[in-house]
Chain A
Amino acid sequence: MNRAETHPLTARLNLTDPPDLKRYEAAGGYQGLRKALKEMAPADVQQTVKNANLRGRGGAGFPTGVKWSFVPMTAPDGTPYRGHKYILCNADEMEPGTFKDRLLMEGDPHQMVEAMLVSGYAIGATRGYIFLRGEYVLSAQRLNRAIDEAKATGYLGENILGSGWGMTLAVHTGAGRYICGEETALINSLEGKRANPRTKPPFPQAAGLWGKPTVVNNVETLCCVPHIVVNGADWFKSLSQGKSTDGGTKLYGVSGRARRSGCWELPIGTTAREIIEEHAGGMADGLKLKCWLPGGASTDFLLPKHLDLAMDFDTIGQHGSRMGTGLITVVDDKASLLGMLYNLELFFTRESCGWCTPCRDGLPWTARILKALEQGRGQPGDIEILEQMTRDLGPGRTFCAHAPGAMEPLQSALKYFRDEFERGIALPPRRQAA
């Protein structure tokens, strides 16, 4: 098999000189769009993606085909749907420790454009937006160039390839704030409002951007779609090489003090040990692995004993964490765990949108306690307050997943490293005097 069949997402990747339209097409590009528009109905594309068992690569792991299936394809009276529907790409990559979507957009921008088109066709979208974080300046330039080329060739606009279906596509750049990655906050932000999350239901598929049916998918998720259409669901499922029931490859990575931090496309379900020890070359000289976050700041810590777990949504979920974005952060034995937790909770504090009270007030309180513990001036009862936070800021207690995500590293650290918290409690004065 050639590399395009084993590494569909990155076979064409070129970060210094990404393929232009001509080179992209020569390497098989836009064949997914041609096949979908000429041979498949939108429902067929949805079904193929469902069969392929593609799950959302933004971190939640929700089956993509199922997500799409909630989009109305007809009007209530059974006639064809009229009016706009939107396909949005969540390219607001800001989860600490995550650096995969940037590679896909900088290194193969036409793949992103084709992914938006094929996915847009599957739900009958008329407009597409790539919601890109403002700091990804190079991604914006390259995507806009690719969009211009696609427009000039007739891949974008009215009646694409004579199919009768048309879609526009634009890059929307943000101006910061992690919360924009929450899909309903992203929609509010795109509408030109503060990025406060919305109540669900209604889900975006029913009432999203400007109240119209809307799908929000992550960059990596979308980029899988044209390949699934070209090569089929069975091929996609086989990419995991029996390591997982999920289909496809996954961009995995390692950061922290590893020997060779980086990002690699591997079969989904590859073990964390292989990713860290083989691909990242293990820990840097003189350091030992203390614990690791499987996929970003909002996932629970795991220990060295968990390294042989398959990195997929179900396996990691069954062992007390989440795969999240799949980009691993390794924590070494010389690092201060409380210092790192303080860093994490300060991040979540600053990035809280302030909309609901538990998040707005609970996160800075949590950060303050962690700072005190790190500096050895914690008070008796602080650990119990932190434990209470993990419940009161947990799932179902807040408006969105921001604060519950913030509690994941904290609750797992309390579980595995409670003694380090205890050492942060200041001794009462009389005992110091003795």
Chain B
Amino acid sequence: MTEPAIKLADLPKAAPFELHPDDRIAIEHEIAHYDHPRAAVIEALKIVQTRHGWVPDAAIPAIAGVLRIGSAEVEEVATFYNLIFRQPVGRHVIKLCDSMSCYLTGYDDVAAAVKRKLGIDFGQTTTDGRFTLLPICCLGACDKGPVMMIDDDTHGQLMPHALDDILEAYR
């Protein structure tokens, strides 16, 4: 029998992960809102993401333990919803709306300008770790298109030449 090309033991180990005690309390608090703990899975993922910026693989079984469900049941949710990040993101996350009202009011030019200024494409993070750029569907502010969110803030009526002033506030 030939040796396998990759041995399991040689694979990089996931970094160990321990839930912060405050996060465990916060998740338990969320569970109390529901008749079944599993309903708190999205909140639990968000709580972990708020602390770490993203949800590492090793966090999945830790969350599953608090919710008393299987890791696969957490994983299937964590991989379905686009606001749960499964790889590291920058300090600030730009979500640029690419739906139709923004498309009609100048999305293409704004997207090109953001990409050029930051030197990244959608799904990428600047080398200094400051910004991650993501597409997002309609943000419900169509009368102010084109629109983007940076972290929790919504910015409308975007114009390519005025982007610097907005980005400047996020260091």
Contact = CB atoms under 8 A, between A and B. Distances in A.
Interface of A: 84, 93-99, 101-102, 127, 133-137, 170, 172-178, 189-195, 210, 253-257, 261-263, 293, 297, 327, 329, 331-332, 335, 339-340, 343-344, 347, 350-351, 353
B142 interface: yes
A329 B104 contact: yes
Contact of B104 (A170, A262, A331): A331
A84 B33 CA distance: 14
B54 to A, nearest CB: 13
A329 B100 contact: yes
A344 B154 CA distance: 22
Interface residues of B, number: 42
Interface string B115-156: 000000000000000000000111111111100010010100
A95 B28 CA distance: 33
A157 to B, nearest CB: 14
Given A178-B137, A329-B101, A335-B104, A135 B80 contact: no
A260 B157 CA distance: 12
Nearest to B43: A173
Interface stretch (B3-11, B19-27, B81-89, B160-168): B81-89
Contacts of B104: 255-257, 329, 331-332, 335, 340
Contact of B82 (A175, A189, A293, A339): A175
26 contacts: A97-B100, A97-B142, A98-B140, A99-B140, A101-B140, A134-B83, A135-B136, A135-B139, A137-B152, A172-B39, A176-B83, A177-B80, A189-B42, A191-B39, A192-B38, A192-B41, A193-B77, A194-B77, A253-B143, A255-B143, A256-B101, A261-B143, A297-B99, A340-B103, A343-B100, A347-B138
Interface of B: 33, 35-36, 38-43, 45-46, 67, 69, 73, 76-77, 80-84, 95, 98-101, 103-105, 136-145, 149, 152, 154
A102 B154 CA distance: 13
Contacts of A127: 35
A339 B103 contact: yes
A175 B45 CA distance: 9
Question: Which A-B residue pairs are the 5 nearest by beta carbons?
Answer: A255-B142, A175-B81, A261-B143, A96-B99, A192-B38
Contacts of B138: 94-98, 297, 347
Nearest to B44: A192
B100 A84 contact: no
Contacts of A98: 138, 140, 142
Given A192-B77, A195-B80, A347-B99, A99 B141 contact: yes
B53 to A, nearest CB: 15
A97 B81 contact: no
A344 B83 contact: no
A381 B43 CA distance: 48
Contact of B143 (A193, A254, A340): A254
Contacts, number: 140
Contacts of B43: 173
A194 to B, nearest CB: 4
A340 B43 CA distance: 35
Given A193-B76, A347-B137, A347-B138, 5 more contacts: A97-B100, A173-B46, A176-B83, A192-B67, A335-B104
Contacts of B136: 135, 176
Given A98-B138, A254-B143, A297-B99, A175 B84 contact: yes
Nearest to B143: A261
B116 to A, nearest CB: 21
A15 B69 CA distance: 41
A340 B108 CA distance: 12
A343 B154 CA distance: 22
Nearest to A343: B103
A343 B42 CA distance: 29
Nearest to A191: B39
Contacts of A192: 36, 38-42, 67, 69, 73, 77
A101, A137, A176: most-surrounded residue (chain B CB, <10 A)? A176
Contacts of B40: 192
Contact of B140 (A102, A194, A339): A102
A344 B100 contact: yes
Contact of B46 (A93, A175, A262): A175
B77 A191 contact: no
A261 B142 contact: yes
A177 B82 contact: yes
A176 B82 contact: yes
Contacts of B142: 96-99, 253, 255, 261, 327, 329
A187 B36 CA distance: 13
A332 B139 CA distance: 22
